[in-house]
Chain A
Amino acid sequence: MRTSRTQEIWVGIFVALGMLALFVLALRVSNYSSYTNGNQYHVYVYFENIGGLKVRSPVTLSGVTVGRVTSIDYDPDSLQAKVELGIEEKYNFLSTDTAASIYTAGLLGEQYIALEPGAEDETLAEGDEIIHSQSAMVLEELIGQFLVKMSSK
């Protein structure tokens, strides 16, 4: 039994449309284009408190996204949070004394890691550790400090 040619053409169009739709969803709607898993290098950074930081939170350099948080763990030796950052290979010029801070996008927005390059000539490579870190600002703590200051006056 054969299928008519029009049917074959229509099914072809149908499947092509479906692929196009998936393609659009992937490339235009989602952040697929920022997935460049193949060429990343990983560095570690320890924080006292990571606040609301999550895996896949962005890592930025002067506001430009250069990577993502790839894993978050608690390190029992240093009693700190150990955060692994995946940074794209093309940003391989970060000096070893780069500082990492956790900031919040907007007052209540999602949290991200901002990197600030230092002055050393040596650059970070796979498996290195960022020594300078600044923990997340926790709103409650800030308010607490503020209240303490106010009452001590």
Chain B
Amino acid sequence: MRYGQLREPAFGVARSVQYAPQTLRKVTGCPLPTMAPYAAMDETHISIEQVSFSRGDRLIFDGISMEIPRGRITAIMGPSGTGKTTLLRLIGGQLVPDSGRVLVNGLEVASLSRRRLYELRKRMGMLFQSGALLTDLSVFENVAFPLREHSRMPEDMIRDMVLMKLQAVGLRGATELMPAELSGGMARRVALARSIVLDPEMIMYDEPFTGLDPITMGTIVTLIKRLNRALGITSLLVSHDVEETLSIADHVILISAGKVVEAGLPAELAASASPWVQQFIQGLPDGPVPFHYPAPDPLEQFLGGDHA
């Protein structure tokens, strides 16, 4: 997909998503470095091929396939419990698919040796829903953690790196706080600073918008967008917050019941004729996805007398 096409109101939907470089510069406040990330944008970074995965008796993915382009923001959306987080763990190599392949940079994650997997993970950032900050370390030490574990940098260099990344998320003043003293939004920003401290080539965001107040949510949206545009980091976003996600994603994949339901540009999705997609995007309580959990006939259950 070339971005030139995106500006055409081809689908008749007036979403406020614009990709013109001039607008971007205004939004992010960062100069666009080069067009290099865009030049490579059609290249596949992560590809998921016919992956099946089940947890216990429950089939979570049933031969799912998708491709995630390099340098773009891809959003994976779907109702709760459709295994969006599981998908991220499959990509990160924390889970192994029952069948099918997960390829990152053309390497099959599940077949990598432990050492190679760890090498790969150093180039992956992951932002957990909870932040997953180490509770016994201060904000500074949390951000410094990957550096201390993986490099033998001198102390003053670590300090500069950490302060730089904290500055990027606006928390340079919070270095000495402990994770318990942070609000949910601050914790997520610290976690974001930590996940970019090794300058990864991709970041996976697990439900980055859940449980935040509107201001913090706006901050996180801006940060995700800025990181992607400024550094060309492949961003994989898992969420069910429709509006925020559609506002920043370049590419959206909707999954449900272990399958890809719909994939495309945000605008394409909004215009989709599928009643399921419409129900999800507009947040309608009833539709193809029923309001009621499967239950016996109400008449029978309410009036049935004995509960046998």
Contacting A at CB under 8 A, from B129-156, are 137, 141, 144-145, 148
Nearest A residue (CB) for B144: A1
Contacting B at CB under 8 A, from A1-18, are 1
A1–B148 CA distance with the chains assembled, in angstroms? 7
The number of chain A residues with a CB under 8 A from chain B is: 1
Closest 5 CB pairs of A and B: A1-B148, A1-B141, A1-B137, A1-B145, A1-B144
**A 30-56 to B, binary, CB cutoff 8 A, 1 in contact else 0:** 000000000000000000000000000
A1–B146 CA distance with the chains assembled, in angstroms? 11
* B293 → chain A closest CB, angstroms: 48
A123–B69 CA distance with the chains assembled, in angstroms? 96
A1–B137 CA distance with the chains assembled, in angstroms? 9
A1–B142 CA distance with the chains assembled, in angstroms? 10
Q: What chain A residues lie within 8 Å of B137 (beta carbons)?
A: 1
A1–B144 CA distance with the chains assembled, in angstroms? 8
Nearest A residue (CB) for B149: A1
Q: What chain A residues lie within 8 Å of B141 (beta carbons)?
A: 1
Q: What chain A residues lie within 8 Å of B148 (beta carbons)?
A: 1
A54–B148 CA distance with the chains assembled, in angstroms? 60
Nearest A residue (CB) for B155: A2
**A 57-69 to B, binary, CB cutoff 8 A, 1 in contact else 0:** 0000000000000
Nearest A residue (CB) for B148: A1
Nearest A residue (CB) for B141: A1
A3–B148 CA distance with the chains assembled, in angstroms? 14
* B280 → chain A closest CB, angstroms: 44
* A6 → chain B closest CB, angstroms: 16
**A 118-137 to B, binary, CB cutoff 8 A, 1 in contact else 0:** 00000000000000000000
5 contacts between A and B (CB under 8 A): A1-B137, A1-B141, A1-B144, A1-B145, A1-B148
* B29 → chain A closest CB, angstroms: 33
* B157 → chain A closest CB, angstroms: 16
A1–B155 CA distance with the chains assembled, in angstroms? 10
A82–B144 CA distance with the chains assembled, in angstroms? 71
A24–B63 CA distance with the chains assembled, in angstroms? 69
* B247 → chain A closest CB, angstroms: 39
**B 231-267 to A, binary, CB cutoff 8 A, 1 in contact else 0:** 0000000000000000000000000000000000000
